[in-house]
């Protein structure tokens, strides 16, 4: 679909009779609708969970729900911004694996743990910049670039650590996998996610940077002529994504108290699924952090509820898929109905001769 006909189809940006673009109000309306659906889904899944198991609403279970989705949710935040600009980053989970590998490798070489973590974060930033350069400077399609770096990052991790695994990290740090933040039932990863989500939400929805991100996604050329440095914004979003995914890799390493090259293999699809489930349009230009946070909560609750009643994790994939499908079908339904009606009306009318 070309950007042009997307604009035509999108009621949120249809010009009003007086020529003004009525983006904000209709845009918020469209957002509200999908987020309301998500909220209803969340309540339904909490209700369902409490029905199938009395453990679901217990405090410790709340901790585990968060623990299971924490890293995925953190990686979803920068990806949300990237998808809103109309691009994609599929290398997120490989970056998590590479970061986990580096933390383990450097720690095994005798680096102090904070230095190993810093090393992993720098690698993440550099990896993200590599994606950014390939997409913005060379102008390559992001989906192909990041499938390439998905393989490349995982491959580098494999070369570095081979089939070894590194353990023996300081207990104080590996406790993030067992203990919640003191005086709460929140896992550390979720606490960090929520704090980050607030920052991302403010930046995306209430600052010029956020407006630029949306502008790029809606009409890249128009944004460029309006003075947005399109390539620079995209470049830094990729760099940010690399850094944040490396950070998620550090958390992942401490949560499992193990560093392996295959950490988080295949998670990229889960991260993309959460972003899309949050109502972010894959064509760019539309989406919200609130939606992504709600989608994370829905996924976490459903996953935990099904695990409590012993549904195979592979079978749970069906739910993920169906929700994903709904997330694109529901916002499109009004348009589909309108189109169907128009076609019917056209068929009833006698053909002009």
Residue 288, phi then psi, degrees to nearest 5 = -150, 155
Out of 165, 167, 175, 320, the only residue in the binding site for other proteins (CB under 8 A) is 320
How far is residue 76's CA from residue 72's CA, in Å, rounded to a whole number?
A: 6
Q: Which of 150, 176, 233, 251 binds other proteins (CB under 8 A)?
A: 150
Helix (H, G, I), strand (E, B) or coil at 15: strand
Residue pair 149/92 in contact (Cβ under 8 Å)? The answer is: no
CB of 179 to other proteins, least distance (A): 32
Instruction: Identify the residue among 315, 343, 350, 353 touching other proteins (CB under 8 A).
Output: 315
Contact map string, positions 52 to 91, toward other proteins, x by CB under 8 A: ---------------------------------xxxx---
**CA nearest to 238, candidates 101, 100, 88, 97:** 88
Minimum distance from residue 335 beta carbon to other proteins (Å)? 8
Instruction: Candidates 34, 154, 245, 260: give the one binding other proteins (CB under 8 A).
Output: 154
The per-residue DSSP string of 285-342 comes to S---HHHHHHHHHHHHHHHHHHHHTT--HHHHHHHHHHHHHHHHHHHHHHHHHHHHHH
Cα 107 to chain centroid, rounded: 29
Q: For residue 90, give both structure tokens.
A: 């599929």
5 binds other proteins (CB under 8 A): yes
Strand partners, 166: 259
Residue 242 CB, nearest approach to other proteins (Å): 15
Q: How far apart are CA 259 and CA 157, in angstroms?
A: 11
Beta bridge partners of residue 259, listed in sequence order: 166
Residue 166, phi then psi, degrees to nearest 5: -110, 130
- Hey, which residues between 212 and 231 contact other proteins (CB under 8 A)? 216-217, 219-220
Q: Which stretch binds other proteins (CB under 8 A): 175-183, 241-249, 291-299, 323-331?
A: 323-331
Q: Total residues contacting other proteins (rule CB under 8 A)?
A: 63
- Considering only residues 23, 33, 155, 256, which one is a binding residue for other proteins as defined by CB under 8 A? 155
Q: Segment near other proteins (CB under 8 A), from 182-190, 251-259, 296-304, 315-323?
A: 315-323
Residues making contact with other proteins (CB under 8 A): 1-6, 9, 85-88, 134, 138-145, 147-156, 158-159, 162, 216-217, 219-220, 266, 269, 272-273, 276, 282-284, 312, 314-322, 324-325, 327-329, 332, 335-336
């Amino acid at each position: 679909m070309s950007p042009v006909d997307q604009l035509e189809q999108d009621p949120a940006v249809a010009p009003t009779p007086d020529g003004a673009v009525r983006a904000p109000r209709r845009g918020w309306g469209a957002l509200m609708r999908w987020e309301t659906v998500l909220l209803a889904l969340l309540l339904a899944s909490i209700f369902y969970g409490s029905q199938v198991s009395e453990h679901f609403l217990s405090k410790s279970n709340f901790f585990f729900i968060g623990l299971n989705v924490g890293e995925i949710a953190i990686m979803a935040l920068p990806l949300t911004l990237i998808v809103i600009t109309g691009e994609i980053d599929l290398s997120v989970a490989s970056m998590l694996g590479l970061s986990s590998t580096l933390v383990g490798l450097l720690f095994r070489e005798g680096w102090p743990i904070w230095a190993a973590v810093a090393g992993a974060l720098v690698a993440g930033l550099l990896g993200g910049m590599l994606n950014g350069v390939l997409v913005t400077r060379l102008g390559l399609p992001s989906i192909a670039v990041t499938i390439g770096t998905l393989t490349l990052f995982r491959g580098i991790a494999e070369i570095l650590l081979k089939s070894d695994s590194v353990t023996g990290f300081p207990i104080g740090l590996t406790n993030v996998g067992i203990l919640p933040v003191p005086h709460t039932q929140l896992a550390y990863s979720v606490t960090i996610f929520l704090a980050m989500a607030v920052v991302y939400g403010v930046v995306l929805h209430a600052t010029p940077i956020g407006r630029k991100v949306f502008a790029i996604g809606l009409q890249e050329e128009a944004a460029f002529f309006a003075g947005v440095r399109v390539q620079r914004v995209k470049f830094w979003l990729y760099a940010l994504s690399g850094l944040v995914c490396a950070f998620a890799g550090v958390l992942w390493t401490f949560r499992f108290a193990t560093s392996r090259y295959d950490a988080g293999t295949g998670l990229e699809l889960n991260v993309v699924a959460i972003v899309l489930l949050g109502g972010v349009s894959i064509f760019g230009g539309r989406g919200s952090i609130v939606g992504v946070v709600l989608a994370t909560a829905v996924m976490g609750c459903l996953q935990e509820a099904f695990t409590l009643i012993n549904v195979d994790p592979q079978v749970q994939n069906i739910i993920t898929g169906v929700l994903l499908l709904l997330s694109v079908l529901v916002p499109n339904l009004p348009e589909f109905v309108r189109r169907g009606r128009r076609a019917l009306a056209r068929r009833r009318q006698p053909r002009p001769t």
